[in-house]
Amino acid sequence: MLQRKKLHCFSLFALLLLSWNFSFTSGQCPPVKEPCVCTSSMHEPVSISCNNAGSLLDVIQAIAGARNVQIDSLFITNTPIGNLPPLAFQQFAVVRLILNRNVITDIDPLAFDGPLLDSLVDLDLRFNRLGQVPGQGVGRLRRLHKLNLAHNSIGSLANRPFSSYASVDYLQRLDLSNNLLLDIDHDAFDGLRNLQELSLEANGLSSVPTAPLSHLRTKLTDLNLGSNRIATIGKGSLNFPKLTSLSLEYNGLADLHMDSLAGLTELNYLYLTGNHFTQWHPDVYKHVGNLRVLAVGEMAISRLPVDAFKHIPALIRLEMSEAAIDTIEQGTFQRTPNIQAIVLNKNLLSKIRVDLFRGLQALSAIDLSKNRLTSIDDRAFAGLTSLRNLDLSGNELKRLQPATFNGTFQRTHDARVLYLCNNPWVCTEELEWLRRWLRINRDIIIDKPECLSVCNAPEQLRNWPLRNDDFEVTALPILPDTSANSFAFSTAGWIILAIILAILLTTIGLLALVRYFVSQKHKRQKEEAEERRVLSSAASGYQVGSAAGSAYPGSVLDLNLPPVNPNVPIDDRQHRFKPAVGTGISDCTNVEYFPPALNHPVPSWAAKIRANIHRRQFPVGDSRTSQAKLVAEAAQSTRPDNPAGQPPHQCVHEANDGTNPTVRHISNSCLKKLKISNFTNQLRTWRRLQLCIVH
C-alpha cells in the first residue's frame, strides 16, 4: 500500500511536470491548416505532420504560417509528389525532413535550395521509387548527418554517387536497406570520410563489401549486412576494429571460420539468427571477448556444451529462439556470471535442472515458453534475486514444487511477470501452495492477452482461474520467501511516511496561526473603523454646556423627564428590583447602577441616556406612555446607525415605600459579555455601552 501511495505521488508529480512542459511548449506551434497538424514536446518544440495531402502545393499552403519558425520535424507522407520540384521548401527552415511513401522518382537539383541547405540534418526518403542515389538535389545540403534511402529501387552505386556531396564531412548514417543492390563498386563510398553507421540489409549481396569499405575500417561502428546472400566470410573480411555492432542474420551461412570475426575487438552486438549452423563452435567467438549481446536463433544447434561461452564471459543477453536446443550441459551459463536475459523459447527442452541457472544473481529475464517442459526441479529458480520476468507458458507443466521460487520475485518498483498460461495445471492440494502464493502476490502478472492461466484438472475445476480460491486444503506447504527485505523496506517506508505527515501537520499549523493573526488584525481594524464612524456621527451633534434642556440632535424624541428625586437613594444594595411594565423581563436580580459620576466628557447621547435612565424617577402609570416603552424609544433614537434596533432589557428599581420606582436597564450579563469592567475607555466604552443598551 505504501508503495502504491508513493507511486501515486510520483505519478502525480510526473503528471504536473508534463502538464507544465505542455503549457510551456504548446504555445510554440505555428498556425497550420489541414491536413497538417503541429505538435510540441520538450525535445521537439515544433513537429508538423502532413498525411494524405492532395499535392505538395497543398502541404506548402497548409504550413504557410511556419515560414518564420524553425521546424524540428516535418513529416510529409502518402502524398503524390512524383518529381520534387525546385525551391520546394525555399521559405522553410527544417532540421528533420521525412518524405515517406510519396512516389518520388526524381529530385530536382534545386529542390532544397533556401534555408534547408544549412538547416537540414536528417533526410528520410524511404518507401519511394528512386532508381538511383539522388545526386545534386541532396548533394547541395551542407550539414546532412543522416540519409535514409531504404525501400527504394536503387540497383547500383556506380560513379562515386556520394563524392560530390557538400556534406561528405558531416554524413554519419547511411541506410540503403531493402533496395536492389547485387554488388557494390569499389569506389561506391568514396568521399564519405566520417561514415559510422551503414545498412545494406535486404539487398542481393553475395559477399562482404570489404574493398568499398576499406577507407572506413577505422570509422564504422555499426554495419548491417543481414538478409543478403552471403554464404561465406573469409578471414580478414570483417577487419573493422571500431565496429561495435554487426548483423549477419538470414544470410545462409553454414558455418563461421575460426578467424571469421578476427579484428572485431570492440564488438558488443552480434546477430547471427537465421543462418544454417548445425553445432556450436566456441572458438568462433575467441576474437570478440567484449561481446555483450549474441543472437543465434532459428538454427539446428540442438546442444549447448559446457564451454559454449568460455570466450565471451561479458555476455549479458543471449537469444536462442527456435534453435532446436534439447540439451544444455551443466555449468554452461555459469561461464557468463553477469548475464541478465536468456531467451530460449521455441526449443525442445523437456526439463529444467536445479543447477541450470544457479548463482546467476544478475539474471532478470528468462523466456522458456513453447518448449516441451514437463518438470522443473525444486528450487530451480531459487535464489535468483534479480529475476523479474519468467515465461513458462506453452509447455506441458502440471505442477511445481513448493521451493521453486524461493528468494525470487522480490518486491521492487519493477513489474513482476510469471507467465503460466497454456499449461495443463492440475489444481489439487499439491499445487495449492502456488495458487495461494499467487493470491498473496496479486501484482505478479500471470496471463498474456488471449492466454489465461487456468486449471486443467480436476474436472470440476477445468478452466477455473489458477489464482482463484476454490476449495479447502488440510495441509499446506510453507510458502516461498519472496520478501527477504520486506521488514527493512516497511520500516523505512513508515519512517518516510511519518516525516511527510510531520511536515504536513507543521505546515497546516503554521497556516492556521497566520490565519488567526490576520483575522484578529482585520477584526481590530473593523472595530476601529466603526468607532471612528460613531465618533464622527456623535461629534456632529455634540454640544458643550450645562443647560438643562440640551438634547442630542439626532434624537426624534425629547424625554423632558421630571427632575431627580433627591429622596431616592442611589445605593441599589438597599432596594429590590422588578421588571418594568411591558418589557417581558422576568428576573432583575443581576442589575447594578452606572457609576454615579464620570470625570471625563462623553457624547451627548450617552450622557442623556445615563441621566434620563439612571438618575430620574418615573411615576408608575404615567399617562404619556409606559416607562419601559419610553426608555426603549429613547435608547433607539440615540443610535443613528440602527433606528430600528431591538428594545433594551429594562428593569425597575422599587423604593422602600413601593412608589416612585427608578428605572434600571443595564444588566451585569450584558456588561460581562462585552467585557466592560469600568467606564474609563471613553469613546470605545460608550460605543460598547450603546450596543448593550440597544440589544
Q: What is the pLDDT of residues 372-391, one digit of tens each?
A: 999 999 999 999 999 999 99
| Residue 23 vs residue 555, higher pLDDT | 23
Q: Residues 476, 433: contact at Cβ < 8 Å? A: yes
Q: How far is CA 91 from the centre of its chain?
A: 39
Most confident of 394-408, 510-524, 586-600, 675-689: 394-408
pLDDT at 322 over 90: yes
Considering the domain boundaries, does residue 492 fall inside one?
yes
The confidence band for 236, taking pLDDT boundaries of 50, 70 and 90, is: confident
Q: How confident is the model at residue 200 (pLDDT cuts 50, 70, 90)?
A: very high
Contacts of 403 (CB under 8 A, 6+ apart): 378, 379, 382, 480
pLDDT at position 658 = 40
Interval 170-190 mean pLDDT:
96
Q: Tell me, yes or no, whether 411 lies in a domain.
A: no
In this predicted model, which residue has the larger pLDDT, 30 or 28? 30
Distance CA 490, CA 500 (A): 15
- The predicted-structure confidence for 102-127, as pLDDT tens digits, reads as follows 999 999 999 999 999 999 999 999 99
Indicate if 580 and 676 belong to the same structural domain: yes
Confidence at residue 536, expressed as pLDDT on a 0 to 100 scale: 55
Residues 586 and 513 in one domain: no
pLDDT confidence of residue 689? 41
Q: How far apart are the first and last CA of the chain?
A: 58
| Confidence check: pLDDT of 198 > 90 | yes
Q: How many domains, in total, are found in the chain?
A: 2
- If one compares 382 and 550, the residue with the highest pLDDT of the two is 382
**Which grid cell is 227?**
538478409
Let me know whether 586 and 683 are in one domain.
yes
Place of cell 554524413: 171
Instruction: Say yes or no: 660 and 586 in one domain.
Output: yes
Q: Which of 477, 494, 519 is the last residue of a domain?
A: 519
pLDDT at residue 502, rounded to an integer: 92
Alpha helices (H) in 540-625, listed in sequence order? 604-614
**Whether residues 601 and 683 fall in one domain:** yes
Per residue in 39-69, pLDDT tens? 999 889 999 999 999 999 999 999 999 998 9
**Within-domain flag for 355:** no
Q: How far is CA 100 from CA 118, 126, 129, 304, 553, in A?
A: 22, 5, 10, 44, 94
Q: Which pLDDT does position 516 carry in this prediction?
A: 85
Q: Looking at the structure, do residues 679 and 592 belong to the same domain, yes or no? A: yes
Cis preceding-peptide flag for 458 (omega within 30 of 0) = yes
- Rounded to two decimals, what is the model's pTM? 0.66
Residue 584 has a CB neighbour count (10 Å cut-off) of 10
* pLDDT value for 694: 36
In Å, what is the CA distance from 41 to each residue of 34, 36, 97, 121, 338? 20, 17, 17, 19, 37
In a domain, 373, yes or no: no
Residue 600 pLDDT > 50? no
Any domain includes 534: no
Report yes or no on 97 lying in a domain.
Answer: no
User: Does 499 share its domain with 609?
Assistant: no
> For residue 27, what pLDDT is reported?
53
Q: What are phi and psi of 57, to 5 degrees?
A: -60, -40
The pLDDT value recorded for residue 477 is 46
Question: What is the Cα–Cα distance from 224 to 339, expressed in whole angstroms?
Answer: 25
- Residue 19 domain-assigned? no
Q: What is the pLDDT of residues 96-108, one digit of tens each?
A: 999 999 999 999 9
Residues 490 and 604 grouped into a single domain? no
- Residue 533: per-residue pLDDT: 62
Most confident segment among 526-535, 586-595, 672-681: 526-535
Q: Which of 34-43, 349-358, 468-477, 605-614 has the lowest mean pLDDT?
A: 605-614
Residue 557: pLDDT over 60: no
Helix axes 683-694, 604-614, angle to 10 degrees: 50
Indicate whether 583 and 686 sit together in one domain: yes
Nearest to 74 by CA among 110, 113, 123: 123
* Same domain flag for 515 and 576: no
Q: Do 584 and 499 lie in a common domain?
A: no
Residue 480 has a pLDDT of 52
- pLDDT > 90 fraction of the chain, expressed in percent and rounded: 63
At 278-293, the pLDDT tens digits run 999 999 999 999 999 9
pLDDT higher than threshold 80 for residue 16: no
pLDDT, the chain, mean: 79
Read off the pLDDT band of 591 (50, 70, 90): very low
User: Do 515 and 600 belong to one domain?
Assistant: no
In-domain check, residue 288: no
In this predicted structure, which of 233-247, 494-508, 548-562 has the lowest mean pLDDT?
A: 548-562
Residue 635 clears pLDDT 90, i.e. is over it: no
What is the domain range of residue 503? 485-519
Q: In 108-240, which residue ranges form alpha helices assigned H by DSSP?
A: 116-119, 136-139
Q: How confident is the model at residue 526 (pLDDT cuts 50, 70, 90)?
A: confident
pLDDT of 274 strictly over 80: yes
